[in-house]
Amino acid sequence: MKRKLIGAIGVAGMMIGVAACGGSGGSDGKASGGDAGNTITVWLMSGSNPPNWTKQITAAYEKKYPGKKVKIAVQPWDGIQQKLTTALSESTPPDVIEVGNTQTPYYAQTGGLKALDSDKAALGASDWLPAMSKSAVFDGKQIAVPWYAASRVVIYNKKIWADAGITATPKTQDELFKDLGKIKAKGTKDAFYLPGQDWYAFDGLLLDAGADLVKKDGDTYKANLDTPQAAQAINLYKKLNSFGTAPKDKDEATPQQSDVFAKGDVGAFLGLGWEGAGALTKNPKLKDQIGYFPMPGKTADKTAAVFLGGSNLAISQGTKNPKGALNFLKLAMSDQFEGALAKEGGVVPNKAALNTNLQGNEFGTVSAAAAANGGTTPLIPEWGSVENAPNPITTLFMTGVLQGQSPSAAAQKADVEMDKRLSQK
Amino acid sequence: MAAQYRGTKTRGPDPAVTPPTAAAALTVAGSAGSGRPARPSGSGRAARFVPYLLLLPTLAATALLLGYPLVRNLLISFQTLEPFQLIQHTTEWNGFGNYTDQLTSSEFWHTAGRSVAFTLVNVVLIMVGGSLIGLLLNRLGKKMRLLLSIGLVFAWAMPYVAATTVYQWLFDTQNGVVNWGLNAVGWHSMHDYNWFSHQLSTFAVITLLVVWGSLPFVALNLFAGLTTVSAEIFEAARMDGAGAWRTFWQVVFPMLKPFFLSTTFLEIIWVFKAFTQVYALNAGGPEGLTETLPVYAYVEGFGNQHFGTGAAISMLTIVILAALMSYYFRVILKEEDEL
Amino acid sequence: MRRSLAGRLWPNIVAVVLFVFFVFPVYWMVTTAFKPDLDIVSSTPVFFPVHATFAHFTKAVHAPGFWTFVRNSFTVTLGAVLLSLIVATLSAFAVARMRFKGRKAFILMIMMAQMAPWEVLTISVYLIVRDSDALNSLLPLTLFYMMMVLPFTVWTLRGFIAAVPKELEEAALVDGCTRFQAFIRVVLPLLAPGLMATSLFGYITAWNEYALVLILNKDSGATLTLWLTEFQTNFGDDWGATMAAASLFTLPVVVVFLIMQRRAGSGMTAGAVKG
């Protein structure tokens, strides 16, 4: 009875976590009655679903399956693992869930995700980019489907850069620092906004320095932060952070960096396409002022390596409506909606043939090019434990160094904790 | 409650008349005037069951809503309960594994030591500060007393969660009024200082938050108690040439010993268990260095998703709390013998 | 014997300093909530909001789900308080007025229950509620909050009942009342301040509760405490709106405090315990 009441209150309450992000949307609470047979719940992560895509796929689903409803609830990344683990253990888990590529093996191992092998073909598996579908396979089973990939690029305020007398975007890191220096000298407090705990951004710099967060040691993985490469990467990170007032002990979502950028007094930040779009929604005056360029490398011939973020879609093992969930998945995986997602969100689609959709999306073009030089964390279930809050990479290593510890000292602390988590079964 | 105290106004400062009542532990109101219970006046067999019938709802609620969770928690603490077991709804016993892991981990002992130290510091500050403010209230004129009481009631009424948010804002790095004030009075290194980046400064803020919120309870209750000590007694003490210090220890303290005893123990429980202030303020950061036992249990259990480990930590927390409270239990038991 | 001027002055000075110490955070919360953004982030704090604005309150009130959380908070709080008053009055009467075997054990149990560390029982409470399929519902929250305040309520009411002269009750019995009638007609009216005082405690505890709701309820089942702690995640560094939210959350407690204080009279300090 209570459940019905809550169902009736609808999606409005579910959206609380995303009030600030551009990707909010979803059905409007008419999905009352809470009838599990007719309504499927889809959990998407903050920033993944652009507004028009959300509207259209909801409408398309409800049109294609008359009488059926879809409820899209957007979840913040912060604390998601705890929320998802408990939700998967409950009697009515969300039917379709978006899982980050690095976290997928963790959930696969818990048995909370439904195997999709028999429906693989219908979902278009033959054309998936191997690099993306890798993370959706666990123990030889297809436990999720690759949805999209994205890499961070520098999002900048053209006006501020022009006011500082900069005419071209930087091609090397030295040029970047020189430009940021000029902007700062012009009185912009936040020439570059980089909060201390954006570990995806750090991982890109680390990959660029030629190292990884972990190294393989026989059959197991060991933490690998106490290296000259990691020190080089975090020093670079620290330098970027020093060009602004971003907090050293917060991540990019507290506050949403796109909201900070939207105020119009931030020179640049490292972000994803939806963050640029979100800033524009928040402050329409920024129209034609937002530009994108890839994080430059050390030399002009190559852009910096990036962390290849991405998301998979999965069906929960405990779903009460496997058919409805599969139907939604098929719709989302269709060329129409996969293409629309790429077009609107500027993310790399799961099939090479759909890349044409990125044309005209400035972020998408820059990001897809940068993604060519992308890497990710090891796709092992233990990795999920590392990302559990409090994440040692951010709280022990990054914030530690940014607040004055030596990279080596902070790395040793973080490595101990990471090793502890990596060795847990 | 003040009314009950006032009822004893004619009584001299004779500690023998007011034995330390554990009754005062929960409220001073309960302590005074509780007469001997009468024998059931209804006759017959049925009447004998009446008290048990009246107790039944309380007993049932306690068994179901407190007893069962405790037992369940104990059981979980002997299990391996990770996301896999949680999602698959399987039970995997691992004996004392969770306990030996914790008892041999330096992290647990550090956290336990930190928790005890945190509790002691806070309780001392609260009791000493609260007593001084209570004595001050007793000494103030009517208008000033009202003013201070209003201040106390505001701090008292402020819900923890709201207070925590407000303190985050007061101590904000860039626009916090505290940093501005410290900078303004000449401590320039505090300009843009991040209070939540160091263990001690974070604890300083947490302590201030806890003490600020707890002082009013002690101060106002002590003041209510002091109103029962008649002015003549203070006068007499002064005539005897007793200073403020001696007056307090020889007159006030013995008379209000039950109050001091019970309030101290209440504060120990409250501070030791404090979760909201510590967790909502900085989630036990930086680097987990401000995790107290309840926060540690939560972070390990829910944050890191080692639910069995979290349960074991919480059982150990209960044991440590019980040890801290053992003196109190002794007092109660002694007291209850006289009931 | 007159005190020196300094001797008379310093307590007043200390009192004023303390008053500022206790009131300032509350004052700062309320003024920040009324200040326009520019005044909030100005490099010299604006101590008096000359350009008061309601924009932050509007934003807070229009936050998604706000009214749902308000309703949830009131439902669980009032439910818990009422339930605990009913349950506690019964046993408090038994303990205060009757003699029976096991009375001492019961009192001991109540005292131990008062110390229950709810904050660390979250895992088992979560599993119990999950397994009874009642997550995100207000009922388990209400019941657990009721249990949190029950021991205190029993204990306090026992004191208040014992303070009612039993001769009054006996007189009523002589007049032909049953025990129950005597309780309703004689004891209960005299208990009003006690009930007020105890319910104030329950009200504050339930209104404030964070650890349990954090794990049991989310989204539309959340209460205001959860909403407030997540406000920063949701609204970023908008301190004006956050402080408006905190003010709104505090308001009902202050109101109840003021009402109860008057009604409960001397019982105020007894009841107004934060747990």
Q: Return the number of CB contacts < 8 Å for A and B.
A: 71
Radius of gyration of chain B from its Cα atoms, rounded to whole angstroms: 24
A109 with B84: Cβ contact below 8 A:
yes
B305 with A388: Cβ contact below 8 A:
yes
Q: Does B76 touch chain C (CB under 8 A)?
A: yes
B137 located within any domain: yes
Average pLDDT over residues C192-200: 84
Tokens of A274: 């939806």
For residue B173, the model assigns a pLDDT of: 87
Tokens of A403: 């607040």
C59 located within any domain: no
Residues C25, C86: one domain? no
C105 located within any domain: yes
Residue B257 belongs to domain spanning: 98-337
Residue among A89, A112, A389 minimizing CB distance to B303: A389
B54 located within any domain: no
**Is pLDDT of C2 > 70?**
no
What CATH number should be reported for the domain holding residue C80?
1.10.3720.10
C58 located within any domain: no
Residue among B86, B174, B196 minimizing CB distance to A85: B86
Reading chain A (425 residues) residue by residue, the pLDDT tens digits are 344 333 333 333 333 333 323 333 333 333 333 445 789 999 999 889 999 999 999 999 999 999 999 999 998 888 888 899 999 999 989 999 999 999 999 999 999 999 999 999 999 999 998 888 889 999 999 999 999 999 999 999 999 999 999 999 999 999 999 999 999 999 999 999 999 999 999 999 999 999 999 998 888 899 999 999 999 999 999 999 999 999 998 889 888 899 899 989 999 999 998 898 889 988 999 989 999 999 999 999 889 999 988 999 999 999 999 999 999 999 999 999 999 999 998 899 999 899 899 988 889 989 888 888 888 888 888 898 898 888 999 999 999 999 999 999 999 999 999 999 998 75
Tokens of A135: 């993370």
Residues C123, C203: one domain? yes
Question: Cα separation of A80 and A76, whole Å?
Answer: 7
Average pLDDT over residues C90-97: 92
Question: Cα separation of A375 and A378, whole Å?
Answer: 9
**Is pLDDT of B27 > 80?**
no
For residue C70, the model assigns a pLDDT of: 95
Q: Which residues of A touch B308 (CB under 8 A)?
A: none
Q: Which residues of C touch A93 (CB under 8 A)?
A: none
| Alpha-carbon gap: C135 to the closest alpha carbon of chain B (Å) | 15
B259 located within any domain: yes
Q: For residue A201, how many other CB atoms are within 10 A of its CB?
A: 23
A16 with C232: Cβ contact below 8 A:
no
B287 with A109: Cβ contact below 8 A:
no
Residues C155 and C114 sit within 8 Å (Cβ to Cβ)? yes
Phi, psi of A78 (to 5 degrees): -60, 120
Percentage of the residues of chain A whose pLDDT score is greater than 70? 91
Average pLDDT over residues B179-195: 91
Residues C159, C27: one domain? no
Q: Which residues of B touch C253 (CB under 8 A)?
A: 157-159
Give the closest residue to A150 by CA, choosing from A394, A380, A342, A344: A342
Q: What is the mean pLDDT of chain C?
A: 86
Sequence letter at residue A99: V
Q: Does A174 touch chain C (CB under 8 A)?
A: no
Per DSSP, A73 falls in state: E
Residues B138 and B223 sit within 8 Å (Cβ to Cβ)? yes
Q: Does A400 touch chain B (CB under 8 A)?
A: yes
Q: Does A78 touch chain C (CB under 8 A)?
A: yes
Q: Which domains does chain A have, with CATH numbers?
A: 2-150+309-374 (3.40.190.10), 153-307+378-422 (3.40.190.10)
Helix, strand or coil for residue A97? Answer: strand
B55 located within any domain: no
For residue B338, the model assigns a pLDDT of: 56
Residues C198, C158: one domain? yes
For residue C263, the model assigns a pLDDT of: 58
Q: Which residues of B touch A396 (CB under 8 A)?
A: 287
Question: Cα separation of A249 and B151, whole Å?
Answer: 34
**Is pLDDT of C212 > 90?**
yes
For residue A4, the model assigns a pLDDT of: 37
pLDDT in tens, C247-263: 999 999 888 887 776 65
Residues A27 and A11 sit within 8 Å (Cβ to Cβ)? yes
Average pLDDT over residues B315-329: 88
Residues C33, C148: one domain? no
Residues C143, C192: one domain? yes
Sequence letter at residue C229: T
For residue A320, the model assigns a pLDDT of: 93
B31 located within any domain: no
pLDDT in tens, B85-128: 999 999 999 999 999 999 999 999 999 999 999 999 999 999 99
Per-residue pLDDT band at C169 (split at 50, 70, 90): confident
**Is pLDDT of C202 > 50?**
yes
Q: Domain tally for chain B?
A: 1
Q: Which residues of A274-293 are buried (b: 16+ CB within 10 A; e: fewer)?
A: bbbbbbbbbbeebeebbbbb
pTM beyond cutoff 0.90: no
For residue C209, the model assigns a pLDDT of: 92
C112 located within any domain: yes
C133 located within any domain: yes
Average pLDDT over residues B217-236: 84
Per-residue pLDDT band at C64 (split at 50, 70, 90): confident
What CATH number should be reported for the domain holding residue B326?
1.10.3720.10
Residues A39 and A328 sit within 8 Å (Cβ to Cβ)? no
For residue B43, the model assigns a pLDDT of: 54
Half-sphere exposure of B86 (CA within 13 A, CB side): 26
Per-residue pLDDT band at C14 (split at 50, 70, 90): very high
B307 located within any domain: yes
**Is pLDDT of C85 > 80?**
yes
Residues C38, C94: one domain? no
Cα–Cα distances (Å) from C132 to A60, B157, C75, C126, C139, in that order, read 36, 35, 21, 10, 12
Residues C125, C97: one domain? yes
Q: Which residues of B touch C269 (CB under 8 A)?
A: 1-2, 28, 220-221, 224
Does the complex come out with an ipTM higher than 0.95?
A: no
Tokens of A384: 């999920």
Q: What is the mean pLDDT of chain B?
A: 83
| Alpha-carbon gap: C110 to the closest alpha carbon of chain A (Å) | 31
Phi, psi of A271 (to 5 degrees): -155, -175
Question: Cα separation of B302 and B260, whole Å?
Answer: 37
Question: Cα separation of C55 and C37, whole Å?
Answer: 10
Residues C132, C185: one domain? yes
Chains linked to A by 3 or more Cβ pairs within 8 Å: B, C
pLDDT in tens, B195-213: 998 999 999 999 999 999 9
B128 located within any domain: yes
Give the closest residue to C56 by CA, choosing from C251, C187, C239, C264: C239
**C10, C30, C53 - which closes a domain:** C53
Cα torsion C196, C198, C202, C204 to 10°: value is 70
Helix, strand or coil for residue A347? Answer: coil
Substitution target in C12, C13, C21, C22 with the highest count of B β-carbons within 10 Å is C22
Q: Domain tally for chain C?
A: 2
Phi/psi zone of residue B180: left (φ > 0), alpha (ψ -120 to 50 degrees), beta?
Answer: alpha
Per-window interface: A 109-148 vs B, CB < 8 A: 109-112
**Is pLDDT of B29 > 80?**
no
Residue among B82, B285, B302 minimizing CB distance to A395: B285
Residue C151 belongs to domain spanning: 64-271
For residue A130, the model assigns a pLDDT of: 85
Residues C182, C264: one domain? yes
pLDDT in tens, B38-90: 444 445 666 788 899 999 999 999 999 999 999 999 999 999 999 999 999 99
Average pLDDT over residues B308-333: 88
Greater confidence (B235 vs A162) lies with A162
Per-residue pLDDT band at B335 (split at 50, 70, 90): low
| Alpha-carbon gap: B132 to the closest alpha carbon of chain C (Å) | 11
The owner of tokens 């408990």 is: A86
Question: Cα separation of A14 and A35, whole Å?
Answer: 17
Q: Which residues of A touch B82 (CB under 8 A)?
A: 424
Q: Does A360 touch chain B (CB under 8 A)?
A: no
Q: What DSSP letter does each residue of B252-303 carry, written as one string?
A: IHHHTHHHHHHHHHHHHHHHHH--HHHHHHHTT-STTTT--HHHHHHIIIII
Q: Does B135 touch chain C (CB under 8 A)?
A: no
Question: Cα separation of C196 and A364, whole Å?
Answer: 63
Residue among B29, B41, B333 minimizing CB distance to C173: B41
For residue C261, the model assigns a pLDDT of: 63
Q: Does A196 touch chain B (CB under 8 A)?
A: no
Residues A403 and B193 sit within 8 Å (Cβ to Cβ)? no
Nearest-Cα residue of chain B relative to residue C251: B158
Residues C207, C253: one domain? yes
**Is pLDDT of C266 > 50?**
no
Residue among B33, B159, B294 minimizing CB distance to C207: B159
Residues B219 and B206 sit within 8 Å (Cβ to Cβ)? no
Residues A170 and A179 sit within 8 Å (Cβ to Cβ)? yes
**Is pLDDT of B158 > 80?**
yes
Residues A346 and A273 sit within 8 Å (Cβ to Cβ)? yes
B75 located within any domain: no
Residues C192, C258: one domain? yes
Helix, strand or coil for residue A75? Answer: strand
